[in-house]
Copies of this chain bind each other. A is one copy, B any other.
Amino acid sequence: MFSVCVIGTGNVAYHFSKIILENKNLKLSQVIGRKKELDFEFKLNINYNNNLNSIADADLYLICVSDVTIKEISKKIKDKSNSVIAHCSGSTNINVLKNHKNFGVIYPLQTLTKKKKIDFYKTPLLIEANNRNSFKKINFFSKSICNQVIKCNSDERAYVHVSAVFCNNFVNYMNFISQKILESKKIDPKIILPLVSETANKLVQLRPIEAQTGPAIRKDMVTIKKHLHLLENSDFFYLYKILTNSILKNTDELQE
């Protein structure tokens, strides 16, 4: 059976471990981390070890650690026959693993936290490999756990990662601000949730260019002024202004 060793105990490690355990064609040989014990959420039926020097044999070593430690951690893994070493980082070049014989990348394009269940099978996996053998293994593994496996080189993946920062991190931050504004007026921030969901639903059906609404795209300077007035003493006055100006600038392309 195809065996996988997961290195790391964070959100990405957790979700990979879970989906491997659920798959009949895969074996989770080990999870390796620095912690003495795994987090509560992670307490699956797992062979856990916190000594990087006692890594068990596996067909695939999946490095799910912070970007800056990938290289250092990978040095602890000894190449064994046809085993492949892969990292899961969006913005890290495949060549960080070039001291190995077989290496590659499996980047899950999704926001993963232990607290939140997810259909991992629908998470796009962006894969890259240094040779045919590595590709074969990485591709087999990825297709076993996911129905959207996409070949993607390190340069492309870096742009995908920036793109994800805009549509996830910055989107989440926009919602942080949105709820802050409601809280400042003692309004229940939950009233905004149907709008949050529908905003995303729309993006699945329409292109952002078709879905864009609001005062900026309408060049509705009266409303924009009203809004800036309301935000006058807020941390977010400046952001509202910058974002509105950016939409106004792109207005020729964006059309309501």
Known interface pairs A111-B198, A174-B174, A195-B167; A242-B242 also in contact (CB < 8 Å) = yes
Known interface pairs A166-B178, A243-B173; A226-B159 also in contact (CB < 8 Å) = no
- 8 Å CB contact of A181 from B109, B159, B230, B231: B159
**Which residues from chain B contact A230 at a C-beta distance below 8 Å?**
158-159, 162
Known interface pairs A91-B223, A164-B192, A167-B175; A200-B202 also in contact (CB < 8 Å) = no
Q: Are A175 and B116 in contact (CB-based, < 8 A)?
A: no
A161 within 8 A of B: yes
Interface positions of A from 200 to 219, Cβ below 8 Å from B? 200-217
Q: Are B166 and A175 in contact (CB-based, < 8 A)?
A: yes
A227 within 8 A of B: yes
Interface positions of A from 201 to 256, Cβ below 8 Å from B? 201-217, 220, 222-223, 226-227, 230-231, 235-236, 238-240, 242-243, 246-247, 249-250, 254
A133-158: contact bitstring with B at CB < 8 Å (1 yes, 0 no)? 00000000000000010101001101
A95 within 8 A of B: no
What are the 8 closest A-B residue pairs judged by CB atoms, nearest first?
Answer: A169-B214, A200-B200, A167-B178, A176-B208, A166-B178, A163-B181, A175-B208, A163-B178
Q: Can you add 7 more A-B contacts, CB < 8 Å, to A166-B175, A167-B192, A200-B200? A: A109-B192, A109-B194, A110-B194, A160-B187, A167-B199, A169-B212, A176-B254
